[in-house]
Copies of this chain bind each other. A is one copy, B any other.
Amino acid sequence: MDTARSLEVADLQALLDSELFADWVRELALRVDAITNVAVHLTLPVAPRHVHGGGVLCGQTLMAAADTAMVLAISAALGGFRPMTTVQLQTSFLRPIAGDSGAAAITARVLRKGKTLVFGEIQIADAKGQLAVHATTTYALL
């Protein structure tokens, strides 16, 4: 990756806020917190619009956040956005995230970057730092 331009937090945030993502997805209001050489860290606000009748953050929001975070992690690993498509995404829901808990913390990391396939892992922790969601995914670079 020597030749790849190194992306900054502001670059990924700009990507996140761009029309690359559907309007409905941008309403997740994800915030990029940090980029390391192995992972991207984001904050997912726990907003009332994403809380279901049971009083917890809905699974649909968590899967959407995981997928979105991974696109950023891959972009960071590639030194910039490249057209890609999700091949599969498997999400496990370990514990609920309370609807009044403020925010969740997402860590998305690339496990393996092949020529056309990229494998990744996403973890979402609740406000106490406990692992709430674990996802693994495969993307195809187009």
Give the oligomeric copy count.
4
Complex interface bits, A1-43 against B, C-beta within 8 A gives 1, otherwise 0: 0000000000000000011111111010000000000000000
The residues of B that contact A119 with a CB separation of less than 8 Å are 92, 94, 134
Contact of A88 among B18, B54, B90 (CB under 8 A): B90
Q: Closest CB of chain B to A12's CB: distance in Å?
A: 15
The residues of B that contact A140 with a CB separation of less than 8 Å are 117
Complex interface bits, A33-64 against B, C-beta within 8 A gives 1, otherwise 0: 00000000000000011111110001111011
Give bound CA distance, A117 to B142, whole Å: 12
Size bin of chain A's contact surface: 35 or more
The residues of B that contact A51 with a CB separation of less than 8 Å are 22
A132 and chain B: residue at smallest CB distance: B112
Given A24-B49, A136-B136; A93-B83 close (CB under 8 Å)? no
Using A63-B64, A117-B140 as known contacts, list a sample of 9 further A-B pairs with CB atoms less than 8 Å apart, ordered by residue number in A.
Answer: A21-B58, A22-B52, A86-B93, A87-B138, A88-B91, A90-B91, A92-B119, A94-B114, A121-B134
Q: Which residues of A contact B (CB under 8 A)?
A: 18-25, 27, 48-54, 58-61, 63-64, 67-68, 83, 85-96, 111-112, 114, 116-117, 119, 121, 131, 134, 136, 138, 140
Pick the 6 closest A-B CB pairs, nearest first: A60-B64, A94-B112, A90-B90, A20-B53, A22-B58, A23-B49
